[in-house]
Structure 1
């Protein structure tokens, strides 16, 4: 009965299709808060989240201690402290694929479905040998690192020619955080029973290709769009979800960012994001095949 009660408390009706953008964003932000409460109340979900969270924190603590010790040995006593290194490392790992802890984080996604009262999920990589799975995840992590660091390089080059550096920094921060959100949807969508839905050319690749086709001098943008689409192919479904539901993704992102900034609670950032992303997908798309491009709605009027 406790599990059923938790599932009921974690459930929330999605806004009507004609709901306003602010209402949809506010509802998605509320799903993040409900996910945090569900994680605190559901014992099985909490146990599943504790192991990968603790292992990640331990790894970051060891890395921070070794970094500070190395700086001290080199006489660099003015470098960042252990807490700063730990925090930066922890946040950085939150934006990357789970790699070594993929099975543990997948268990969180499966438990989230149970706690939310949606149909049981499945691990698409069950039975796969651990070394092969880790190799696949590391390749994805490297691809994502390239995408985040240099994915919009042509745009950054153009912005760098403008006075001031604020626009370039803002674009870089927004692009990096967008991939934190995309990564949050990865395991929830992988845990859905049945075949993956897939996705078409991502919105950023289409935008770059349109820009590159507008003028001969801008042709490098077209090439960059094609390369970016190829690099981000493993996340096609997740990216398309954010395009179909841009305002829900925006509300989700604001709330997730707030969770990450809260001391102690931020440690469970990935777990809360997984639960909330599972809820958003279940409420908005019912875990069935999405209507894809027919339901797309771009930002703006």
Structure 2
């Protein structure tokens, strides 16, 4: 019965091509809710998600305890409490590339494909040694940190000249959250069998280059666009997906943000995002038939 319930909740056809923007956004938000239900109902998927989630939470708890203990030893009693440090650290790690736990999170992506009824996926780095894989993921994490913190620096400099700081803060927050969403699509797209699809220049690089070509004084924007395109090359396919489906990405983002804010459920933020991103890609890009998920194996 649990398998039938999961299949029923997972079945949701993508909107028609001529559907309205809000309808597409609502549908994508619903996919996040269906992903959460599927994660709760599918025993194998749930087991796959529990291990990396528990390891991440344990690491954050140790870091929070050491941070608070260090502050107490220094006589600082006004700093943030352990729960605050834990929450900030957990959210930060959940929104970055998986690095040390890449294999465990890839297993979640592979189980998500099975639970959704799409063709079996593959780990593109299955034969790679763990130290080399971790090094690659750390390099990607550093690249993403640079992109998030300084990727739109020229634009932020211009906005900083305007009265008030609201525009700069809003741009920074939107840019950072956009990369949380891009990261959510990384493992689902990597798990697709076969070679990865090609992708052209990302939308933000094209925008900066057009701006830089408009006036010679704005030429630094052109250089920034080229640099940003190079830095974000590992996520070119994920970025292109968000460009092809902007309203679905927006609905997905709103729902994922809501999941992150729910106590308890937020612990499974990355797992839910991986399952939902897998479903979105399958239904929007034709990656197999995701209309009827397979029944989960017995617990």
Instruction: Report TM bin, short chain.
Output: over 0.9
Q: Structure 1 residues 102 and 298, CA, compared in 2 at 3 Å: closer, same or farther?
A: closer
Q: d(CA) in 1 for partners of 2:114 and 2:298?
A: 36
* Structure 1 residue 50 displacement after superposition: 0.2
Q: d(CA) in 1 for partners of 2:137 and 2:272?
A: 21
Question: Conserved in 1, the CA contact under 8 Å of 2:118 and 2:289?
Answer: no
Question: Conserved in 2, the CA contact under 8 Å of 1:15 and 1:24?
Answer: yes
* Structure 1 residue 198 displacement after superposition: 2.3
3-state DSSP of counterpart to 2:279? helix
* Structure 1 residue 86 displacement after superposition: 0.7
Question: Conserved in 2, the CA contact under 8 Å of 1:32 and 1:252?
Answer: yes
Question: Conserved in 1, the CA contact under 8 Å of 2:199 and 2:240?
Answer: yes
Q: d(CA) in 2 for partners of 1:34 and 1:292?
A: 13
Q: d(CA) in 1 for partners of 2:244 and 2:293?
A: 6
Q: Which range is displaced more, 74-83 or 101-110?
A: 74-83
Question: Conserved in 1, the CA contact under 8 Å of 2:100 and 2:134?
Answer: yes
* Structure 1 residue 298 displacement after superposition: 38
Question: Conserved in 1, the CA contact under 8 Å of 2:95 and 2:270?
Answer: no
3-state DSSP of counterpart to 1:299? coil
Question: Conserved in 1, the CA contact under 8 Å of 2:48 and 2:111?
Answer: yes
Deviations 1:224-261 (A, max 9, x none): 00000000000000000000000000000000000000
Q: Structure 1 residues 5 and 295, CA, compared in 2 at 3 Å: closer, same or farther?
A: closer
Q: Structure 1 residues 52 and 280, CA, compared in 2 at 3 Å: closer, same or farther?
A: same
* Structure 1 residue 9 displacement after superposition: 2.3
Deviations 1:19-51 (A, max 9, x none): 000000000000000000000000000000000
Q: d(CA) in 1 for partners of 2:292 and 2:279?
A: 22
* Structure 1 residue 99 displacement after superposition: 0.2
* Structure 1 residue 7 displacement after superposition: 3.3
Q: How many positions carry a matched residue from both structures?
A: 299
3-state DSSP of counterpart to 1:154? helix
* Structure 1 residue 293 displacement after superposition: 25
TM norm structure 2: 0.95
Question: Conserved in 2, the CA contact under 8 Å of 1:108 and 1:271?
Answer: yes
Q: Note the aligned Cα RMSD (angstroms).
A: 6.5
Q: Structure 1 residues 114 and 7, CA, compared in 2 at 3 Å: closer, same or farther?
A: farther
Partner of 1:195: 195
Question: Conserved in 1, the CA contact under 8 Å of 2:116 and 2:293?
Answer: no
Q: Structure 1 residues 118 and 146, CA, compared in 2 at 3 Å: closer, same or farther?
A: same
Question: Conserved in 2, the CA contact under 8 Å of 1:243 and 1:297?
Answer: no
3-state DSSP of counterpart to 2:291? helix
Q: Structure 1 residues 297 and 169, CA, compared in 2 at 3 Å: closer, same or farther?
A: farther
Question: Conserved in 2, the CA contact under 8 Å of 1:212 and 1:221?
Answer: yes
Q: Structure 1 residues 300 and 16, CA, compared in 2 at 3 Å: closer, same or farther?
A: farther
Question: Conserved in 2, the CA contact under 8 Å of 1:97 and 1:137?
Answer: yes
Q: d(CA) in 2 for partners of 1:293 and 1:203?
A: 31
Higher normalized contact order (CA 8 Å, seq sep 6+, divided by chain length): 2
Structure 1 unaligned blocks of 5 or more = none
3-state DSSP of counterpart to 1:295? coil
Partner of 1:293: 291
Question: Conserved in 1, the CA contact under 8 Å of 2:116 and 2:292?
Answer: no
Q: d(CA) in 2 for partners of 1:299 and 1:36?
A: 18
* Structure 1 residue 4 displacement after superposition: 5.7
Deviations 1:77-129 (A, max 9, x none): 10111111111111111221000000000000000001011111111111110
Deviations 1:199-226 (A, max 9, x none): 1100000000000111111111000000
* Structure 1 residue 74 displacement after superposition: 1.2
Question: Conserved in 2, the CA contact under 8 Å of 1:245 and 1:296?
Answer: no
